[in-house]
A and B are shown apart, each in its own frame.
Chain A
Amino acid sequence: MRSHSPFPIVLAVIGALAASAIPVSALSRGDPAIGETIAQQVCVACHAPDHRIPSPIPKTPVLAGQHEGYLVKQLRDYRDGKRSSGLMLGFLDGLEAEDFPHVAAYFASLPPGPGVVTDPSLLELGRELYLDGNPERGLPACAGCHGDEGEGSRRFPRLAGQNVDYTVEQMRRYATGERTNDRGLMQTVADRMDEQDILAVAQFVASLVGEDNEETASP
């Protein structure tokens, strides 16, 4: 195991505090063209701009068409240690905080596409849970926050077309408390689903196309 100096952490936290003084709108007015240049160097080897190109790394999310505000928040959370990923932390060394909105704007500007359904037999169960939830277990319909077509909003991420293995992995992380950067909402949701439910919903959202991301401006 590599030994880590705590100094980068301290710097990251100081940076986070400094960045938090900047209004969100200023941080998230990204320029997709600037973002593209940066993404070509840092991001696209794993997060391909074309959803049809599979990532060489398993459990990697499709970012094309994702909401800009959500992407900026995730980048900041990785940097601040509020969301963990061994891989992302390394690549963040290649990004400055002021790059985040540009990179986010670039991915938000890309056309989303349908994902790959790996088990069509689960689509019906997935659709039922996604649109109706499970009242007995207090499971809300996913559509409530993420939209009927999985399109997301300024407040919640797009799910339409997402990779099944990424969705399943994130739900596992919510359930175990490894991912907590969402005000506890998805932890609660994950606690109220079993493995079959999660896999089924992941299949269903992969099948969704979602409407175009009309919101590329600030949250």
Chain B
Amino acid sequence: MKHQSLHEGARPDPRSWSRPVTPRMPSLLVLACWAAVVVAEPLPQPHAPGIESPDYVWNAPNEEQLRALAHEADPVNGELAYAVCRGCHRADGAGRGDALYPQLAGQHATVLIKQMVDVRTGRRDNPKMHPFVAEWVVSTEDVADIAAYLASLPIPTNNLKGPGEQLAQGRILYERDCAICHGGQGEGDAEEFYPRVAGQHYSYLDQESRLIRDRGRRNANPEMVKAIAGYSDAEIAAVSDYLSRLPTDAQ
């Protein structure tokens, strides 16, 4: 067994790894080795056409989503794979109302899969989140497992609530325009990929609804854009507040 001396002269030059040695040994292996060292920046989030595109179809079938949905989910692996999410969405999946990190615990697995795939493929812009859910970080199977794990968690009830001043108006609007898809109790619809909205953080509901109304959330359902196109900020806030207070224990 050799033992390298610590003297300067015997020290291998770290730069030798990033030096282009390929002209002397034109091997693809060496080239790959060298490229692995000089790549410095993680790839940015890709961009896929969304609601701004004339031929946009909401929830159009795509290969990765179909594979994730078909995967027989393993919530135990999901808990392990969830580690990269936990730094923001918290160990109990409660997210943070003060930071616009949505509550994920108890959300439908289909919804979580769709949203993760949309961020991975760039239909939903989220450069903050993308580096942690990119395909080189979590596999398609991990996506499905994380979703199954989160769906199995109890829904925390200490989510951020709104000011509580326009709840009656919020209820009227919700039942008139939203409940047909998101359900009478805000329970959503797993089969239709409609998220559970009851008990979500007020701040997140408010922000995302405004973004959807203003066509800034590019993976939005055009039906929802239409449904709330005429809403004022105050009306969106009222509905968000109402939903943040809907009980989730029966769900």
Chain A residues within an 8 Å CB radius of B6: 57, 87
Contact A185 B3 (CB under 8 A): no
A140 located at the interface, meaning its Cβ lies under 8 Å from any Cβ of chain B in the complex: yes
B18 to chain A, nearest CB (A): 8
Q: Looking at the assembled complex, report how far the CB atom of A149 sits from the nearest CB atom of chain B, in whole angstroms.
A: 13
- Do B30 and A10 touch across chains, with their CB atoms under 8 A apart? yes
Q: How large is the interface on A (under 10, 10 to 19, 20 to 34, 35 or more residues)?
A: 35 or more
Q: Is the CB of A13 within 8 A of B33?
A: yes
Please tell me if B61 contacts chain A, counting CB pairs below 8 Å. no
**Given A13-B29, A86-B13, A144-B88, are A153 and B83 also a contact pair (CB < 8 Å)?**
yes
Report which residue of A9, A14, A153 has the largest number of chain B beta carbons within 10 angstroms of its beta carbon. Answer: A9
Question: CB distance A9 to B21 under 8 Å?
Answer: yes
Given contacts A80-B33, A140-B132, contact A87 B1 (CB under 8 A): no
- Contact indicator B14/A89 (Cβ below 8 Å): yes
B134 proximity list for chain A (CB < 8 A): 183-184
Contact, CB under 8 Å: A185 / B39: no
Among the listed stretches A25-33, A64-72, A90-98, A116-124, which one makes contact with chain B, having 4 or more residues with CB under 8 Å of it? A90-98
A77-104 vs B, CB cutoff 8 Å, 1 = contact: the mask equals 0001110111101110110000000000
B88 contacts A133, C-beta separation under 8 Å: yes
A20 within 8 A of B: no
The answer, yes or no, to whether A62 is at the interface (CB within 8 Å) is no
Tell me, in angstroms, the Cα distance from A13 to B30 when the chains sit together. 8
Which residue of B1, B24, B39, B41 is within 8 Å of A41 (Cβ)? Answer: B1
Cβ–Cβ contact A183 & B137, under 8 A: yes
Beyond A42-B1, A94-B4, whether A10 also contacts B88 by CB under 8 A is: no
* Contacts known (A93-B4, A135-B98); A144 close to B80, Cβ less than 8 A: no
Q: Which of the residues A6, A176, A183, A184 comes within 8 Å of B24, measured between beta carbons?
A: A6
Query: B29 and A188: CB pair below 8 A?
Result: no
How many residue pairs between the two chains, A and B, have CB atoms under 8 Å in the bound complex? 137
| B41 and A187 within 8 A (CB) | yes
Q: A135-B96, A145-B83 are in contact. Are A10 and B29 (CB under 8 A)?
A: yes
The one of A2, A4, A135 that contacts B101, using a Cβ cutoff of 8 Å: A135
Chain A's nearest CB lies how many Å from the CB of B251?
Answer: 27
Does B2 have its Cβ within 8 Å of any Cβ on chain A?
Answer: yes
Residues of A within 8 A of B15 (CB): 1
Q: Mark B11-36, 1 if CB is under 8 A from A, else 0.
A: 11111111001001101011011101
A6 to B37, CA, bound (A): 15
Please give, as numbers and ranges, the residues of chain A lying within 8 Å of B10 by CB-CB distance.
90
Q: Is A52 an interface residue (CB 8 A)?
A: no
5 contacts between A and B (CB under 8 A): A84-B17, A143-B87, A144-B85, A144-B87, A153-B83
Q: Which residues of B contact A (CB under 8 A)?
A: 1-4, 6, 9-18, 21, 24-25, 27, 29-30, 32-34, 36-37, 39-43, 80, 83-88, 91, 96, 98-101, 128-129, 131-132, 134, 136-137
Given contacts A90-B11, A144-B84, 16 further A-B contacts (CB under 8 A): A7-B25, A42-B3, A81-B33, A82-B37, A84-B37, A85-B14, A93-B4, A135-B96, A138-B128, A144-B86, A153-B83, A155-B83, A180-B40, A183-B136, A185-B84, A188-B131
Taking Cβ atoms with an 8 Å cutoff, the residues of A that contact B are 1-2, 4, 6-7, 9-10, 12-14, 17, 38, 41-42, 57, 80-82, 84-87, 89-91, 93-94, 133, 135, 138, 140-145, 153-156, 176-178, 180, 183-185, 187-188
Cβ-closest 7 pairs across A and B: A177-B40, A144-B87, A140-B87, A184-B42, A135-B99, A138-B128, A144-B86
